[in-house]
Structure 1
Amino acid sequence: MNLTQKFSAWLPRIDQRLWILIFGRLLSQVGTGFVMFYAAVFFVNQVGLSPSAVGFGIGSESISGVVGRIVGGTLADSPRWGRRKILLISAAISALADVVLTFSHDFPTFLLGNLLMGLGVGLYWPATEAVVADLTNLQNRSEAFALNRLADSLGLGLGVVFGGWLIAATGAYRAMFVIDGISFTIFLAVIYKAIPETLNPHQVSLPALKGWAIALRDRPLLIFIPANILFTTYLALLNTALPLYLTQFVSTTPAQTFNPAMLSLLFAWYIGLCVLCQLPVIRSLQRFSYPHALMLSALSWALGFVLIWNTGRVTNGHPLWAGLALAVMAIATVAYTPSASSLIIHLAPESLRGVYLSINSLCWAAGYFVGPTIGGWAMGEPRAVADGFWIAALFSVAGVLLILQILAQHMQRLQTSD
């Protein structure tokens, strides 16, 4: 057996349509990576908007994103709309957002572009994860979600690298939005040509409000929601508070904190590990129940927070300790994301997958609001507060573990009663 055959045998056995969707997601995430780290710099330094205006505009994505998640998850369960139409509309709105941002020269158009982008992304997540759930079974679902997250991580990483190269070589910031818009257009074409509707046409359709009422009375789901928000808060802290902590407080030498080049190298290391470890980690966790797999993720987050504190307070900013902290957080990330999505699908009735995944996506929106808010506050305080913040994050993991233990016991009782 040659190397290609071994690699093919190692990959999970999933529906061909999922491979096409994964390829489309990778392409669209490459475009997103182009924009993610450089849009704010462009609109402040080139367009001339104030940092506060740019921050408000980018933050407005979360507002329209909440609307998109609620509408997208609800309509994805409707036979009249379904997963495919919502994905097509999502890609079209996201491409339109890039058109607006490409020609934006003032705050109103910048705000409009971000509101459209938030709406497109909000519509996208519940529908795409519902497609994954529709095309998988209990045996391969976690691996399918892992592959989707792998495509996201790889696409974002490639986009960040190529985006930085493009800007360094040409200074053509507006080309970022053109490339991102093209990637969404390609994704739209992939869905239109290769992804048929996956919603079961024979399932009973419930009125929208009744579906949400059922979901919001689901005790296991309600137990999991606060833990899910904390997990996504940790991810947000990794992307927002940690770079500020390393660049403002942690000294690699007596006179210098982490510089941008070293920070880029560290986060490239994190993304690379997420890509390499995604499938091996999720396969090793398949022997555990979903709550117990998530407990292992929570323990990894706790160790990561200890290592960050250790990097700042004990080792005087040694880069190897920072790299170790990000390595542990990469394991925590890849253990969390597929396990959480699979748990949500396990809890959801087939006819309400979109609604349940919408609630899951809203947890992400909440976490990405809480994380930057409290992290930004802590990093703006004196050094003692910034250091202590990571210890506080460590203690919060105890709450996650308690919630997951209660969830595991509740699910065990439900299984026994059945």
Structure 2
Amino acid sequence: MRWLLQFPAALRELALVRLVGSFGAGGVVYLTPLVFHQAAFQATEVGGGLAAAALAGTLGRFASGVVLDRGVPCSRPVIAAAGLAMAADALLWGAHSLGPFLLGQLLLGLAMGLYWPAIELAVPLCSGPSGSSRAFALVRSADALGIAAGTLTGALLARGEQLRGIYGVDLLCLTLMVVLLVRRPLPAGGSPGRQRSQRREWSWLPDLIPLLLISVVATAMPTLMQSALPLDLVRGGLQRPALPQQIGALLIGVQLSLLVVLQWPVGRWLARRSVARGLAISQLSFCVGSALLALSPLWRSGAALVLAAQLPIALGQASFLPVATEAVVQLTPPRHQGLAMALFSQCFALSALTAPLLAGWLLDSQGHGVAVWSLMALACTGCLPLVGLLDRRQRTLLIAALTEKEGEESRERVLYRLEAQSVSRPPSAPGSTPPGGSGTGSGAHRT
């Protein structure tokens, strides 16, 4: 693991924090539907709990974004989130009725809302000369490893009929995460800066809209993998027999293990290329994976199609997560990146609010997941024109800023990115992909 030494110490510490947090969250996020399926909850009740968590996360995300742009260190919202998540775990561990389940989900959603803008903004702050593209690839690899390990741990607990132990594992990980953050706090982000007109303050927002729309659809896929897929597998399909819940948990673990393998090489390869290329790859991959899942209930050996779908879905997630977050950094002035990260992470909340409810209703009414996955494939296909629009807008911003046609806000964004590009090509690790591709996707770092 000597290649890790090429990254700054602060970034390595951040990756460790995210690894620990993701290990605890992996079982909770992916296996909570199975816990409450055991407790005889309806799919609509489980989906309603996940939607309540997403709704609560809305408040947390905007609160986190506002305080971050005022110069609050990133570690403070993360520590607050850890405290709320501990309370949620304690409630969910002993919940056997709808009331405690919903309250636990509300606390968990609020915690995730506080956590994500802060932990994402910390990446460019800690990236140093590595560049934020490579930094996002590293921390997303840590996320993937932690979530996969946590979900596989949950699968082992399910095999031993101790599935609720996932909440105990999360409590331990949250405690360790707080210790790490107290020992080495994360840096502060934006500052109020000088006053600008209201119009100028929000001039960066229209450039984010295509990315936000794409993100709502793309983030629905991991949400459905957490909520709809486990229930779809244990219920069976038109021809596909129902699978034991242990098999369902192990299939999810396979998908997450593939994400661990793919995240670093895919993220590193895309760091040298345009964000539009990464977004297009992610949407096409999600479309293929959703189509395979839609076909699986129609075949008696449909479990093989479920297994085959894990590769394109993992490729889609490995492509989308680091590229989309890097796009937020590229399109937003540094002093507004806290709020921009809040808006971006709000896409997770919006998809988590709507996708589980729709999927739960379709599963309850039809008894299989054909419609759920078919709709997902169509939505991903519909995002491809938005990818082209985003690419054209980035090119327009670059030309306009260099010719001084769009003023200080546009020039600041592009020159911030170009300056970072000049230092974002450190010596590569053995076997790495050589530099290439479009310069519009090069990483940025905080100066």
Common topology (TM > 0.5)? yes
Tell whether the 8 Å contact from 2:133 to 2:323 is kept in structure 1 after alignment. yes
Counterpart residue type for residue 282 of structure 1: G
Between 144-153 and 119-128, the greater mean CA deviation after superposition: 144-153
Tell whether the 8 Å contact from 1:215 to 1:221 is kept in structure 2 after alignment. no
Q: Which residue of 2 is the match for residue 4 of structure 1?
A: none
Q: Which residue of 2 is the match for residue 26 of structure 1?
A: 19
Go from structure 1 to structure 2 and tell me whether the alpha carbon gap of 1:405 and 1:137 turns closer, same or farther (over 3 Å shift). farther
Unaligned runs of 5+ in 1: 1-6
SS in 2 for 1:197: coil
Counterparts of residues 383-398 of structure 1 (less than 5 Å): 386-398=369-381
Counterpart residue type for residue 402 of structure 1: P
Between 399-408 and 130-139, the greater mean CA deviation after superposition: 130-139
Query: Quick one: distance in 2 between partners of 1:119 and 1:259?
Result: 32
What is the CA deviation profile of residues 233-280 of structure 1, one whole-angstrom value per residue up to 9, with x for unaligned ones?
Answer: 23323333344444421545xxx3444343333222211110001011
Tell whether the 8 Å contact from 1:277 to 1:331 is kept in structure 2 after alignment. yes
Query: Quick one: distance in 1 between partners of 2:11 and 2:341?
Result: 18
Counterparts of residues 166-205 of structure 1 (less than 5 Å): 166=157, 168-169=159-160, 171=162, 173=164, 175-199=165-189, 203-205=191-193
Tell whether the 8 Å contact from 2:158 to 2:246 is kept in structure 1 after alignment. no
The answer as to 2:254 corresponding to 1:269 is yes
The answer as to 2:391 corresponding to 1:403 is no
What is the CA deviation profile of residues 18-60 of structure 1, one whole-angstrom value per residue up to 9, with x for unaligned ones?
Answer: 21122122222222234345555656767x9887666544542
Q: Which residue of 2 is the match for residue 224 of structure 1?
A: 211
Q: Which residue of 2 is the match for residue 307 of structure 1?
A: 292
The answer as to 2:304 corresponding to 1:320 is yes
SS in 1 for 2:219: helix
Counterpart residue type for residue 237 of structure 2: F
Tell whether the 8 Å contact from 1:215 to 1:355 is kept in structure 2 after alignment. no
Counterpart residue type for residue 66 of structure 2: T
Q: Which residue of 1 is the match for residue 106 of structure 2?
A: 115
Q: Which residue of 1 is the match for residue 280 of structure 2?
A: 295
Query: Quick one: distance in 2 between partners of 1:180 and 1:274?
Result: 21
Tell whether the 8 Å contact from 2:148 to 2:256 is kept in structure 1 after alignment. yes
The answer as to 2:2 corresponding to 1:8 is yes
Counterparts of residues 341-380 of structure 1 (less than 5 Å): 341-380=325-364
Of 313, 320, 323, 1:336 maps to: 320
Counterparts of residues 271-286 of structure 1 (less than 5 Å): 271-286=256-271
SS in 2 for 1:195: coil
The answer as to 2:83 corresponding to 1:92 is yes
Counterpart residue type for residue 216 of structure 2: I
Tell whether the 8 Å contact from 1:281 to 1:335 is kept in structure 2 after alignment. yes
Unaligned runs of 5+ in 2: 402-447
Between the aligned residues of both structures, percent identity stands at 24
Q: Which residue of 1 is the match for residue 122 of structure 2?
A: 131
Tell whether the 8 Å contact from 2:137 to 2:264 is kept in structure 1 after alignment. yes
* CA positional deviation for 1:209: 12
Counterparts of residues 33-72 of structure 1 (less than 5 Å): 33-36=26-29, 39=32, 56-72=48-64
Measured on the aligned residues, the alpha-carbon RMSD in Å equals 3.2
Counterpart residue type for residue 395 of structure 1: L
Q: Which residue of 2 is the match for residue 249 of structure 1?
A: 237
- Per the normalisation by structure 1, the TM-score is 0.84
Counterpart residue type for residue 358 of structure 1: A
Go from structure 1 to structure 2 and tell me whether the alpha carbon gap of 1:55 and 1:294 turns closer, same or farther (over 3 Å shift). closer
* CA positional deviation for 1:219: 1.9
* CA positional deviation for 1:351: 0.9
Between 399-408 and 144-153, the greater mean CA deviation after superposition: 144-153
Counterparts of residues 147-166 of structure 1 (less than 5 Å): 147-166=138-157
* CA positional deviation for 1:139: 5.6
Counterpart residue type for residue 18 of structure 2: R
Go from structure 1 to structure 2 and tell me whether the alpha carbon gap of 1:325 and 1:228 turns closer, same or farther (over 3 Å shift). same
Tell whether the 8 Å contact from 2:155 to 2:250 is kept in structure 1 after alignment. no
Tell whether the 8 Å contact from 1:166 to 1:172 is kept in structure 2 after alignment. yes
Go from structure 1 to structure 2 and tell me whether the alpha carbon gap of 1:100 and 1:400 turns closer, same or farther (over 3 Å shift). same
SS in 1 for 2:301: coil
Counterpart residue type for residue 379 of structure 2: S
Between 103-112 and 349-358, the greater mean CA deviation after superposition: 103-112
Counterpart residue type for residue 16 of structure 1: A
Tell whether the 8 Å contact from 1:26 to 1:151 is kept in structure 2 after alignment. yes
Go from structure 1 to structure 2 and tell me whether the alpha carbon gap of 1:316 and 1:124 turns closer, same or farther (over 3 Å shift). same
Aligned length: 400
Q: Which residue of 1 is the match for residue 416 of structure 2?
A: none
What is the CA deviation profile of residues 281-338 of structure 1, one whole-angstrom value per residue up to 9, with x for unaligned ones?
Answer: 122223421122111111112222233334344x543443332211111101100011
Counterpart residue type for residue 33 of structure 1: G
